[in-house]
Amino acid sequence: MPRSGLRGLAACAALLAAGCEILSPAPERTALPTTQRPDPSLEIIAEHLEMMSRLTQATPSLQAEIVQGARDAAELTPTTSNRLRYALAMATPGHGQSNAAIARQLFTELLAAPEALLPAERALAWVCLRDVEQRLILQAENQRLQGDAARLERERSAATNRRLQAEIDENAQLKKALAEAQAKLDEIARIERSIVERNPTKDNRSP
C-alpha cells in the first residue's frame, strides 16, 4: 500500500477511536453493571476502511470495478452510507479513479448535514476531508513550482538564443568588414600595379 494511503487509513482509524468517544453520548452510570452495546456505525466504518484497503492493493481492473460499484450505489440508492462510500473511494490515493477534487465536494455535501451521519461516519468524513484538502493544496503548489520551473527554463533558453543570435550577427559583421577591408587592399594593389605599368623604372628604360 502506498505510504499516503497508509497514513490516511491510520489517521482515520486513530481519529475514529477518539471521535466516537467525543461525539457519542456517555452512558449513564448505574449501580448495577450493564453490558455496553457497541456502536453500530463501527461495523459500517470497518467495511468502508476494508474497501479503501482493497482499492490500494487491487489490480487496475478490480480497482475500476470497486469504484464503479460505489458510484452506482451512490447514484441509484443515495443513502448516506453509500454516498460516504463513494466519497471514500474517490479520496483513496493509489488507484486510477482517485480524484481528490470530487472527493472534497462529496465530503463537503455530506458534512453539510452532519445530523444525517452517525458519529463514526462523521468523524471519518471529517478526517478524510482534511486529508484531501491538504493533498489538493500540495498538488496546486507542485503545479505552481513546475510552472515556475518551465517558465525559468523558457527564459534561460530565450536568453541563450538571443546571445547566440548576437554572436552570429557579430560574426557576420566581422566577416563583412573583413571582406570590405580585403577588397580595399586588393584595389590598392591593383592601382599600384597600374601605376608601375604606366611608369617603368629607369633601369627598365632604354638609354
Average pLDDT of the residues in 8-12 = 53
Q: Is 9 left (phi over 0), alpha (psi -120 to 50) or beta?
A: alpha
Q: What is the dihedral of CA 153, 140, 94, 67, to 10 degrees?
A: -130
The pLDDT-based confidence of 97 (bands split at 50, 70, 90) is confident
Segment among 28-32, 81-85, 188-192 with least mean pLDDT: 28-32
Q: What percent of the chain has pLDDT over 90?
A: 37
Distance CA 3, CA 11 (A): 12
Question: What is the torsional sign of CA 108, 124, 84, 136?
Answer: positive
Across 84-88, 115-119, 156-160, which has the greatest mean pLDDT?
Answer: 84-88
The per-residue pLDDT for 94 is 84
The pLDDT-based confidence of 1 (bands split at 50, 70, 90) is very low
Length of the chain: 207
Cell of 207: 638609354
Report pLDDT digits (tens) over 48-73: 999 999 998 989 999 999 999 999 99
Q: Is the pLDDT of residue 207 over 80?
A: no
The per-residue pLDDT for 3 is 47
Cell of 157: 533558453
Q: Is the pLDDT of residue 2 over 80?
A: no
The 8-class DSSP code of residue 94 comes to: S
Residue 94's closest CA among 135, 44, 134? 135
